[in-house]
Structure 1
């Protein structure tokens, strides 16, 4: 989201409310917060060039919105990447009821357990292992990929940052995920959704926001994994800083102590059922780039 180039992902949580990573709203080199006038949000896009180059979307569903305000979490620490979460309030509302390519994601106090398979989505750059000679697609199509929740201590490749005082990223506030070779979040996927299946509610929910990913992306289980900010820890903050009535946060999801995710035991992965929605085929039924949009909607 930028008036100049695609930079980060985001999550629609209300008709005027977008959740993203805090570092996405900072200048790349100075780390100074970006002016609100520099931010644009595109929804309903099937590739990173939309809407100008959204040639695979004959319905013209992609739409650009300007931002009214940017709210970075007050405890965000850029050095450590702690509390890497922010809210963008749009100047006008997304008509989610009439836009088949956009939906709000559900919230839950539940956290995925170690061993569960979740999914990440985004338009991040494509890098085939370390082969920089392989052409990358431009624009990049929207994709999703399964990622497994792993123990933070199970691999030394779950990224963390130290600061000058000797502190290190608080990994209790993050999920570490990884997947098969050539499959994982990459540059440009930051701020995008980590969605997981809740068997109790029979639907997907927003579990995390992609916060830290490897610069050499998707290079296998033995290499760097990704970190996502645990959204359940910030539900009250989201409620307090969103436009009144815009975000559907069930009272049962806002708790002082979110349902914990086991960190020392591995559980059997939860398999989500399929969907009858059309999968990523614009013009052939409801547009559903993930194949699971009907189960994501609240």
Structure 2
């Protein structure tokens, strides 16, 4: 089960200085209660990688991402913070996006250099509101690798909608990191569920305008350690990015659509 906002971000800072020989990802918040999935079925799911920062095990994976344009990857803002990377992302010379490779320890797929990064300037590290960032790739991916983002009003955001979250993070909540991509079926929950769980205490504040609640209200299937920035998909469209908390708090993609319309 993912840790609440404040503890998750604190853990990220701690794990960022783990010796590089260890395989643990650095970013807070594979998929608990999940199942294996073939990357060919979900080519828009990618891994963020830096072997210099996180070692060669699992290709240096530390966060997830999702392809929203042939040269554009969306991820969580906190994944690119100095607490995780130990430096500005522009100083991480081997920052890569691993695409088309479900098993991180195997060959295949592509490791593409990141040409540029853009972190949402309105990201609030205290509440984790606006937790998204954009990576521009040095080489384009195929058109079939792109998933459509759901704008505001899309039926996929309705509470009770079945959704799937993808990642390479902790499978059990005990540091059991996956080498291969996994997915978990969750349900979009009402804002009231997360507002009750995160009312503005030290564990964080749920802000319905920029956040999305999904998972199981009492825990169970959810994203976990190492999944941050990965996609939450419903009805064939992207509705969320893994952010923090349990029940799961995701960045609401409709807000990303609005922001990217004129903020970059």
Which residue does 2:233 correspond to in 1?
195
Gaps of 5+ in 1: 98-102, 198-203, 214-223, 243-298
Distance (whole Å) between structure 1 residues aligned to residue 128 and residue 85 of structure 2: 15
Q: 2:238 aligns to what?
A: 206
- 2:193 maps to 1:144: no
| Structure 2 CA distance for partners of 1:191 and 1:161, relative to 1, 3 Å | farther
- Please state whether the residue corresponding to 2:241 is helix, strand or coil: strand
Residue in structure 2 matched with residue 19 of structure 1 by the alignment: 74
Distance 1:39 1:152 in 2: 35
1:9 to 49, 64, 68: 64
Q: TM-score normalized by structure 1? A: 0.60
> For 1:80 and 1:14, how far apart are their aligned partners in 2?
28
The structural deviation recorded for 1:189 is 0.8
Q: Does 1:104 align with 2:146?
A: yes
Distance in 2, Cα, partners of 1:144 & 1:9: 12
Q: How far 1:95 sits from its partner (Å)?
A: 3.0
Shift in CA distance, 170/78, structure 1 to aligned 2, threshold 3 Å: same
Structure 1 residues 25 and 121: alpha-carbon distance in aligned structure 2, compared to 1, 3 A threshold: same
* Structural mapping, 1:175-190, within 5 Å: 175-179=212-216, 182-190=220-228
Structure with more of its chain in helix, by fraction:
2
How many residues are aligned here? Answer: 203
User: Quick one: structure 1 residues 191 and 158, their matched pair in 2 at CA, closer, same or farther if it must change by over 3 Å?
Assistant: farther
Deviations 1:6-61 (A, max 9, x none): 111000011110001100111236986422524211011112x2xxx226xxxx2x
Alignment deviations for residues 181-232 of structure 1 (CA, whole Å, 9 cap, x no partner): 64210111111111111xxxxxx1111111114xxxxxxxxxx311111111
Shift of 1:143: 1.2
Aligned to 2:6: none
Q: Structure 1 pair 2/13, CA: closer, same or farther in 2 (3 Å)?
A: same
Return the match for 2:106 from 46, 54, 62: 54
Gaps of 5+ in 2: 1-47, 52-59
TM-score, normalised relative to structure 2: 0.68
- Structure 1's 44 and 29: CA in aligned 2 closer, same or farther, altered over 3 A? closer
* Selected match of 1:65 from 112, 122, 140: 112
Range moving further from structure 2, 14-23 or 145-154: 145-154
- 1:95 and 2:142 correspond: yes
Measured in 2, the distance between the counterparts of 1:30 and 1:104 equals 26
> Cα RMSD between the aligned structures?
2.8
User: Displacement, 1:168?
Assistant: 3.7
Q: Which has the higher strand share?
A: 2
1:76–1:82 CA contact under 8 A, matched in 2: yes
Does residue 28 (structure 1) correspond to residue 83 (structure 2)? The answer is yes
CA contact (8 A) 1:160 1:171 kept: no
CA distance in 1: counterparts of 2:125 and 2:243, whole angstroms: 11
Deviations 1:143-176 (A, max 9, x none): 111111112323677457657xxx9442332111
